[in-house]
Amino acid sequence: MSSVILEAHDLTKEYRHTIALDHIDLKIEKGKIYGFIGQNGAGKTTFLRLVTGLAFPTSGTLSLWGKTVEKELQEQRKRIGCMIETPALFPTMTAYQNMEIQRIQRGIPDKAVIQKTLDMVGLKDTGKKAVRNFSLGMRQRLGIAIALLNTPEFLILDEPINGLDPAGIVEIRNLLKSLNKEYGMTILVSSHILEELYQTASEFVLIDKGKIIEEISDRELNDRCKRHIAIKATDPQKALIVLEETLHTDSFKLMPDGMIRLYDYLDDMEKVAAALSDAHILVTGLSVAGDTLEDYFLSKIGGTGNVKSPKS
């Protein structure tokens, strides 16, 4: 069976004066956490609204678990849980009471699902505490619990980290990771800050002005952003031997374009230069490279400011 649960092809959404989504192609695979990253107005919410059936595309196709016809899509959407707008919570009620209202509204017969879901998001011990006394992080977790009421296979969250303090950010990150790991849930989560989802998502989709500008795995992203010495040498293979045998390091990588990334000796580039030169290797480039996540993101979306172009 295919592991693709969502596929968008040429998906476009136009409003009267705006092209909110401009011919989007995207595949979401089962069991992964996707970070959907774009600045305000990039088109993230529009995409999530199309997926969840809150809006309809102008053109293009969307398929969920292989179904593309609107009527069948509607049926598949029952397998999705989502938090797109800030959830309407009753502040004087407890977490349980808020969940109970949602359960009844959505016609979910099994009452036990409330306790189970509150447990999943770490809110089972909030007892009689009214929601108005919850931290923002707790409220967001309650919103996620509501999205989980139908025990979805695919969870969609729009900016759940927005406005949270560092502790709240950690809470949500850990929650997403555990939902993914323990329940095998596929998650699509949007943010306007790449760093917020760093170490949480395994795939990043960067969107700008309605277009997907890059899909990158966490590994590739780490690689691009990890600080290293970029070495350009006429004989890279020989240079690698020098790194191993003279500088006693194995913390390097030979890139497909022949560049070497050395993750060691960042504070002692001269020693690297000297070792290579002693071995009669002609070095034509030696520099420290690696972007911060934010620099990387801005370089991709063509932002200005303190932006370095990714080296190598």
Ligand X SMILES: Nc1ncnc2c1ncn2[C@@H]1O[C@H](COP(=O)(O)OP(=O)(O)OP(=O)(O)O)[C@@H](O)[C@H]1O
Residue 52 contacts ligand X per CB under 6 A: no
C-alpha distances in Å from residue 43, one per residue of 12, 35, 48, 114, 266:
10, 14, 9, 33, 39
Per CB under 6 A, 40 contacts ligand X: yes
Alpha carbon of 311 to those of 221, 237, 264, 291, 296: distances in Å?
A: 13, 20, 17, 9, 11
Distance CA 46, CA 58 (A): 12
Residue with smaller CB distance to ligand X, 41 or 53: 41
| Residue 91 Cβ vs ligand X, minimum distance, rounded to whole Å | 24
45 binds ligand X (CB under 6 A): yes
Residue of 46, 98, 126, 140 that binds ligand X (CB under 6 A): 46
Residues 134-193 that bind ligand X (CB under 6 A): 192
Shortest spacing between CB 26 and ligand X, in angstroms = 14
Shortest separation between residue 3's beta carbon and ligand X, angstroms = 27
Residue 211 interacting with ligand X (CB under 6 A)? no
**Residue from the set 5, 8, 20, 64 that interacts with ligand X by CB under 6 A:** 20
Tokens 């899509």 found at: 73
The reply to whether 42 sits near ligand X by the rule CB under 6 A is yes
Instruction: Verify binding: residue 82, ligand X, rule CB under 6 A.
Output: no
Q: Does 18 bind ligand X (CB under 6 A)?
A: yes
Examine residue 56 and tell whether it contacts ligand X (CB under 6 A). no
Contacts of 233 (CB under 8 A, 6+ apart): 239, 260, 276, 281, 282, 283, 284
Beta strands in 94-141 (DSSP E): none
Q: Which is nearer to ligand X, 4 or 84 (CB)?
A: 84
CB distance 52 to 156 below 8 Å: yes
**Sequence letter at residue 201:** A
85 sits near ligand X (criterion: CB under 6 A): no
Q: Does 77 bind ligand X (CB under 6 A)?
A: no
Cβ proximity to ligand X, 42 vs 64, nearer residue: 42
Taking alpha carbons only, the member of 242, 249, 250 closest to residue 274 is 242
Q: Should residue 38 be labelled a site residue for ligand X when binding is judged by CB under 6 A?
A: yes
Work out whether 44 is an interface residue with ligand X (CB under 6 A).
Answer: yes
How many other C-beta atoms can be found within 10 angstroms of the C-beta atom of residue 135? 13
Q: Dihedral (C-alpha) 59, 80, 200, 125: value to the nearest 10 degrees?
A: 150
Residue 267 CB contacts under 8 Å (≥ 6 apart), including other chains: none
Binding residues vs ligand X (CB under 6 A): 15, 18, 20, 38, 40-46, 192
